[in-house]
C-alpha cells in the first residue's frame, strides 16, 4: 500500500504539528507554504512511480498518460528538502519541525514510527484521488527443496484470517483475505487498510505497463529533480 505522510494529529500534543486534520488530496504537496519542507521517495523506489502517477492524476492523466504529471512534479524541484530513505531520519526531521508533508510511501516503511504517537508522523489513505495498492505475492520456485505439501501448508497458514490480521497489525500491510480477523486496535488504526477498502478507492497498477516504463520513468524522475 502507499499513502501520503504528514505531521499527523496523533503527534500534536508533543511536537509542532502542521495538520490538525489529514490532507484529502495529493495536491496539498504543491501548497507553496510547504516549500523546502517536502520529502519525496528516491527515484528507484516503487513509491516514486506511484508519486508520478499521483501527479499525473492531478492533471487529468493516468499511468498511461503521465506527461502532465512530470510537468507538475517539476514544480516541486526547488521545494524538496530530502528524498527519504531512512524512516528514523524522516521522523527526526518531523520532530525537529523541518518537514511538513511527504509523497507516496508504503506504510510498512514507517511501521515503527507510525505506531509511535511521539514520532511526529501521520498518514492518510482518505484521498479523493484514491490510494495506491501494490499486490504482494508468495512464489514457489519450480526447483524448490523440501516437500510441496509443507510449502502449501505454509501458504495456507499465511492466508489464515487470524494470521492475516496479525500481519496487518504488525507491518501495516492490508490483508488480502477479506475475512481477516483484525483486533479492535487494528480496526481503529487509520494506518491499516481494511479488506473492504481495497475494492473502493484502491488504485492498482497494470504491472505490464509499469514494467515497460519503469526505467524511463526513473531516468525522467531523476532528471526532474537533479
Q: What is the pLDDT of residues 152-169, one digit of tens each?
A: 999 999 999 999 999 888
Q: For residue 9, what pLDDT is reported?
A: 38
Average confidence (pLDDT) over 89-99? 86
pLDDT digits (tens, 9 = 90+) for 42-82: 999 989 999 999 999 999 999 999 999 999 999 999 999 99
Task: CATH 3.40.190.10 in the chain: give the residue spans.
Answer: 3-133+198-225
Sheet holding 80-83, edge to edge: 80-83, 38-40, 101-105, 3-6, 122-124
> Cα angle at 167 between 194 and 10, to 5 degrees?
60
Nearest one of 182, 209, 206 to 194, comparing CA atoms: 182
pLDDT digits (tens, 9 = 90+) for 131-151: 888 777 888 999 999 999 999
Report if pTM > 0.85: no
User: How far apart (Å, rounded) are the C-alpha atoms in residues 123 and 172?
Assistant: 12
With contact defined as beta carbons under 8 Å apart, do 52 and 46 qualify?
no
User: How far apart (Å, rounded) are the C-alpha atoms in residues 110 and 134?
Assistant: 16
Average confidence (pLDDT) over 164-191? 87
What is 3-133+198-225's CATH number, 3.30.565.10, 3.40.50.300, 3.20.20.70, 3.40.190.10? 3.40.190.10
Amino acid at each position: 500500500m502507499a499513502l501520503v505522510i504528514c505531521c499527523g494529529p496523533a503527534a500534536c500534543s508533543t511536537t509542532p504539528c502542521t495538520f490538525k486534520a489529514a490532507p484529502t488530496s495529493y495536491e496539498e504537496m504543491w501548497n507553496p507554504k510547504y516549500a523546502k519542507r517536502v520529502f519525496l521517495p528516491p527515484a528507484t523506489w516503487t513509491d516514486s512511480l506511484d508519486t508520478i502517477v499521483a501527479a499525473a492524476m492531478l492533471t487529468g492523466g493516468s499511468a498511461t498518460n503521465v506527461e502532465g504529471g512530470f510537468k507538475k512534479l517539476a514544480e516541486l524541484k526547488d521545494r524538496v528538502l530530502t528524498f527519504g530513505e531512512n524512516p528514523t531520519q524522516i521522523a527526526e526531521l518531523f520532530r525537529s519541525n523541518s518537514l511538513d508533508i511527504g509523497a507516496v510511501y508504503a506504510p510498512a516503511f514507517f511501521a515503527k514510527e507510525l505506531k509511535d504517537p511521539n514520532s511526529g508522523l501521520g498518514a492518510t489513505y482518505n484521498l479523493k484521488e484514491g490510494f495506491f495498492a501494490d499486490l504482494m505475492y508468495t512464489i514457489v520456485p519450480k526447483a524448490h527443496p523440501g516437500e510441496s505439501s509443507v510449502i502449501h501448508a505454509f501458504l495456507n497458514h499465511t492466508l489464515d484470517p487470524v494470521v492475516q490480521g496479525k500481519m496487518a497489525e504488525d507491518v501495516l500491510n492490508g490483508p488480502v483475505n477479506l475475512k481477516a480477523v483484525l483486533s479492535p486496535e487494528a480496526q481503529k488504526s487509520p494506518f491499516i487498510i481494511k479488506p473492504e477498502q481495497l475494492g473502493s478507492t484502491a488504485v492498482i497498477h497494470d504491472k505490464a505497463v509499469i514494467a515497460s516504463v519503469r526505467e524511463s520513468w526513473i531516468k525522467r524522475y531523476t532528471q526532474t529533480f537533479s
